[in-house]
Structure 1
Amino acid sequence: MSIKRPPPAWALHALGSVLLIGAIACLAAASVPVRVLGLTLLFAATGLFSEGVTAQVRGRPTAWVGPFRAMVYRRLPANIVLRRGVLAAREARRRFDTIDWVGDWLPGLIAFGGGGLCLAVAIVHFKAVGQAMGAPATYSAAILLVAGMPLLILQRLLVARATGSGPAVETVLRIPLVSSLVLGAATLFASLGYIWAEWFALVPLVLVSLAAAEAMIRASALLFTPKRPFAERTSAALTWTASLLRLQWPRVSRGSAWLRQAYGIDLSQSWVLAYALRAVLPVTAALAVFAWLATGVTVLGVDERAVVEHMGRPVGLVGPGLHLHAPWPFARTRTVEFGAVHQMPIVFSARPGGRLLAELASAGRADVDAGMDAEAIPAPPADRLWDASHPGEASYLIASSTGGREGFQIVNVDLRVMFRVPDNHDGVLESVYGSSDAAGLIRVAAGRLLVSHFATSTLDQLLGENRSVFVERFRRDLQANVSAFHAGIAIVGVVVEAIHPPPGAAMAYHNVQASEIRADAMRFDSRARAYALRGSASQDALRTVNLAKASAAEQLASATATRTTFEADTRSLAAGHDVFVFESWLTHLRNDLGKAHLTVVDHRIDGTQTTLDLRPFAGSTGGTL
C-alpha cells in the first residue's frame, strides 16, 4: 500500500506534546473517569513520540552512516599489561561510537518506558474504580464526551497515514477515543442513578493495560531481532491491540504480510493452516452439537441434589451421581444442597444509600480456622469479655425501671441461626420455588422475634433467664414463622454466644454489679455479726441464770441442814442437859485438837529432875507423848 501524505516527525512530536499535557492535566483531576482518560492519553503520547523518532529514522538515506569522531591516540605504553588495558578501552570506545542510539534504541526505550509507566498507573487505578464514583458529577460526563470530538478529528487526520505492514499511526488515538465515549456514557448513567454503569470504567483500563504490555513485549523483542532497513522500521508502540478497535473484522492478510516481512513466515504456504481453515466449520458444528447433548447430562456430588424439570414442570428429585435427561431446552435441572448446614449471625450493618445488609455466609468460619488446643492460651480475638464487641453482635432496646421511672436500656446479642434444606421431597421443592433469599427471610423473622422478646424483658431478666429454654422456644417460634412462607428452610438450631450490655456501658454495669455485691456482702456480714452477738448474749445469760440457780440450791440445802442440826441439838438439850453439853465439849475439842500439833505432859512429873526428849520417834503421827 502506498503511503499518502505521511505526517512529518515534528508534527508527531508536537501532537504527542499536546496529548502529554492533556494527560498530565487529566491525571491531576479528582474524578476517577477523567484520570482514566488521562492514562489513555499518556499511552497515545508515548506512541506518537516513539513513532516520531521512528519517522526520523525512516527519513534517512539507505547509505546513511552515523557520525564518527576521528581520534588521535598516543603511543602505547611499554608495559604489556597497560598496553592490553589501553587497547581494550579503545575497542570499547570504538564500539560505543558505532551504536546508533537514536535509530536502534530510542524508539524502543520510549515504548518500553511509556508502556511500563502506563501499566503501573493502570494497576493503581484498578483499585480506585468504584471508590470515587459513588456520586459522579454530570460535568465529568460532559468533559469526557466533549473530549471525544477533538480525538475523533485527530484520528481521522492520521488515517491518511498508512504503512505497508503493521498498525498505522492513527491506532494510538483509538484507545483514548473509545475510552472517552465509554467513560462519558458510564459517568452519565451513573449520575442518573444507574450504579452498575460505573464498572464500565474497567474497559479502558483493560485496553490500555493490554496495549502497554504488548508495547513492552515488542520493545523487548527488538533486542533479539536483526535490524531492519531504515525505510521498513516501525514503532514498537503501535500495537495490534489498538488496531483491533475498529468497526470491521480484522484482516488476516495484513497480519500475514507483517509476519512474512518481519520474520519470513509465509502463512499462505502452510498446509496445516489450510487444513485448519477447512476443518474449522465441521469441527465447530460437531462441538456445538456435543455441547448441546452434554446439557442432558448432570453430575451431582455427594452434597447435592437436583430437581428435574421437563418443559418447566418438576417431574422428580434425583440424588448424588450421574443422571441422564433430555437436553436443554426440553429439560433442565435445579441443583439443591444436600445436608449442608449454614450458620448465619443475626447482624445488621448500615451501608451507604440506607441499605441494610446481613453479614452471613462466612460468619463463624474464622472461629473454626482459628481453632486451638484445649489447653492452649486463647488469642486476643477469642476474648469474650463485655469490654470487647463481637463481630456477630446486634443491639436492641429493652425496657428498664429505675427509681420508679420507666426507661430504656441497650443490650448486645450475639445470636446465630443454623439452617439447611429439608430432607423430604416437599421441603426440597419449597426451597427451590418458594424462596430466593433464605438468609434474608431468616434474618427478618429472627430480628422480629428478638425485638418482640426484648421489648417485654428487662436486663436482669435477660441475664438471669434459662438460656436453654430461651434457645428452644426461639427455635420453635422461628421455624413456625419461616414455615408459614413455605420457603423450604429447616432451622437446625440456635446458638446464643452472648447477651450483655454494650461495651461502652460494660464498666458502669460492672461497677453497679460490684456495688450490689458489696452491699449484699455487708448486709450478710452485719447479719452474721448480729447472730453471733445474740448467741453470745444468750449463752452468758443462761450461764448466769444457771449459776444463780445452783448457788440458791446450795444455800437452801445448807440452810436446811443447819435447821435440821439445830432442831436435833434442841431436842438433845431438852432430853439431857449435862450430857449434851459434855458431848458438845468433846466434839468441839476433837475437831479443834485434830488440826493442831500437841505436846502432852503429865502434870505429875517433876520438872526439876526430869529431861524431856521432844524428838519424834519412828511411827509417830506428829504428836509428842
Structure 2
Amino acid sequence: MPWTDKPGSGNKGPWGQQPGEGNRPSNGNGRRPGQSAPDLEELLRSGRERFRKGGGGKRPPRSGDPIQLPSGRAFLFGAAALGVLYLASGIYQIQPGERGVVTTFGKFTGLTGPGLNWHMPWPFQRVVDVDVQGDRAVTIGRGQGGRTSMLTSDLNIVDVDMQVNYRIKDDADTAPGELPNAAKFAYNIEDPTGLVKSAAEAALREVVGGEEFGPIISRGRSIVNEGTADILQQTLDSYDSGIQVIRVNFGEATPPQEVRDSQLDVVNARSDAEQRVNVATGYANQRVPVARGQARQTVLDAEAYAARVVAEARGDAARFVDIYDEYARAPEVTRRRMYLETMEEVLGDMNKIVIDENAGGTMPYLNLNELARQDQNRRANTGGSN
C-alpha cells in the first residue's frame, strides 16, 4: 500500500513532503524548489525529541533534513570508550634499574619500581623515568675535541684532560621525609650533565691553581684525583642534586705546544734534582742509624772494660791487703811461701837441670839435642808461648 494511501498520512510522503516532491531536483542550496529554510528552534526541538525517544537514524540523512543528534545509548557507549582510553593512557612500564618519579600537579608523590604501573593521566599526574643504577660520565679537556688550559699557582699554563664518572645516590642514607635522590636528580637540576661538567671543571681549576707547574706535570694524577673529587662532591651536594661521584680519572697535564720543549726541560731538571736529593736522603737515613749503633756499642764496650779493670784493681788491692796481714803475723813463713809460689810459677813450664854442688869434680853431661826437641814439643803443645 503506498504511504500516501495510509490513514492519517495526509497524502504526504514518509518524510513529510507533498506528493511529487520526492523526485524534484534541488536548487543547489540543500532545499527543493518551494521549500522554505528550516527553523532553528524547530530543528532543536525535533532533535531533543528524537534524543529523548531514543529513535532517529532510520534512514541516512539527506540534505535539508533536520539535524539528528546521537541517541542516548550511542552517546553513553562513546563516552565510556573515551573514558577507557583516557584511563588506559595512564599505564606505563619502568625498565629494570630505573625508577619512576610520580608528581601530582607538579608535586612529588612517590616512586614506582620496575614493571607495569599506572598513574592518573594528564593533567593530574606525570611520571619521569630515571636510571638509578647506570653509571654516567663527562669528559673535560682534549677528550672532548678541544683543550682546557688552566693556570697554576706559579703562573704557568697547563693543558689538562679528565673524566668524571657519577651516578644517582643510593636512598639508603636518605633521611625520613627527605626527597628521594631520583626525584632530586629529575627535578632539582635541569641539565645534570652540564652541571657535573661545569662543577668538575671549576673544582679542577681550584686544585690546579693551588699547585705549582712542576708537581702538576710530574705527579698530577695523585695530586688532582682526590682533591677534585672532594670539591666536586661538595658542590653537587650544595645543589641537592642527588648525584654521587664515583671516581675522577685525571688523564694528563702537559704544557702548551708552543712552550712544551723548554718547560719539559725545566721539569726534567727539577725531577732529577729531587731524585738525587731523595737518594742522598735515603743513604743518610740508612747510614746514620748504623753509625749511632756503632757509637753506642763502643761506649758500652768502654764502660764494660772500665768496670772490669776497676774490679780487677779492687780485687788485687784486697788480695794485697790480705797477704800483708798474713805477713805481719808470720813474716818468715809468709816470705818462704811467697818465694816458693813465685819459683813454681816462673819455673813450672821450663826445662830444668838440677846440679848438686856437692857432687865433686865430676863433669856434668848435658844432651842439648834432647833438650831442644823437648822444648819444641812443649811449644807445640802450648801454642808457642813460654
TM band (smaller chain): 0.3 to 0.5
Provide TM-score, normalisation by structure 1: 0.28
Instruction: Decide which structure has greater helix share.
Output: 1
Provide TM-score, normalisation by structure 2: 0.44
